[in-house]
Structure formats: C-alpha cells, structure tokens
Amino acid sequence: QVQLVESGGGSVAAGGSLTLSCTASEGTFTKYAMGWFRQAPGKEHEAVAAISAGGSLKYVDSVKGRFTISRDNAKNTLSLQMTNLGPADAAMYYCAACGELWYKCVLMLPSVFPHWGQGTQVTVSS
C-alpha cells in the first residue's frame, strides 16, 4: 500500500503563494492517478486537482488559473503550486492516490482515492 507524506503548508498573506509537495513511499507511484483535496473546518473534503499517470490534468473551477498540479515520477513526488491565495483557500490539504482508471479518477470523488496522506495546513490571512 502506497504511503503518502505531504509538506509545504504554512501561513501566507492573501495574494501570496505556496507550493505543496507529496512524497510517495514506493515505486508504484507511477501507476497511480493522484489528486489534491482540501478540507476546511466544518466542511467536507473538496477536490482541488488531479493528474493521471500519464499527465492529464483536472482542476476544480475555483482554482483554475491559480493552482498547478504536477508530478515527478522519478522522485515519486506530487506537487501543487498555489498562487494568488485567498481566505477561501485556507484548509488542510491532502494528497491522495486513486485506485481506479482515469475516467473515474477525473471525477475527483474522494471515494475512489483509497490512499491518503496526513495533510498539511494552509492558512491565509486577509
């Protein structure tokens, strides 16, 4: 079972940028579609972005043009570059590995992502 560890969270002023990273424990990382999710206090998990094993991308509308998901298969690493952050982006961010084919993973439903990291906190001050 792949294990995921996020890093890179922190506190930033509105309009600022952060880059999150997620490192996977095993080489089979390359076979997984991967996603970033976030959860604000009192709210459900919200999909942010996903990337297929081959590099196809999907973003939720609220982050399009501001966030960039990428992966480095040689380093078993997933990244999320976040720019122009606002208070609505403040949340715990999780990376997750999808256990299905891309046509299911692209829907970004948490139920098809069985492997999750522990999360990294992003705080945005206005």
| Contacts of 54 by beta carbon, 8 Å cutoff, 6+ apart | 102
Residue 81 has a pLDDT of: 98
- Compute the average pLDDT of residues 17-39: 93
pLDDT category at 43 given cuts 50, 70, 90 is: very high
Q: Are 46 and 19 in contact (CB under 8 A)?
A: no
Backbone angles phi and psi of 111, in degrees to 5: -65, -20
What is the pLDDT at residue 57? 98
Q: How confident is the model at residue 119 (pLDDT cuts 50, 70, 90)?
A: very high
Percent of the chain with pLDDT over 70: 99
Mean of the per-residue pLDDT values for the chain?
96
Distances (CA, A) of 52 to 110, 115, 119: 15, 15, 21
Say if residue 26's pLDDT is above 80. no
Band (pLDDT 50/70/90 cuts) for residue 99 is: confident
pLDDT at 27 over 80: no
Closest alpha carbon to 34 in 67, 66, 2, 9? 2
Question: Would you say residue 124 has pLDDT above 80?
Answer: yes
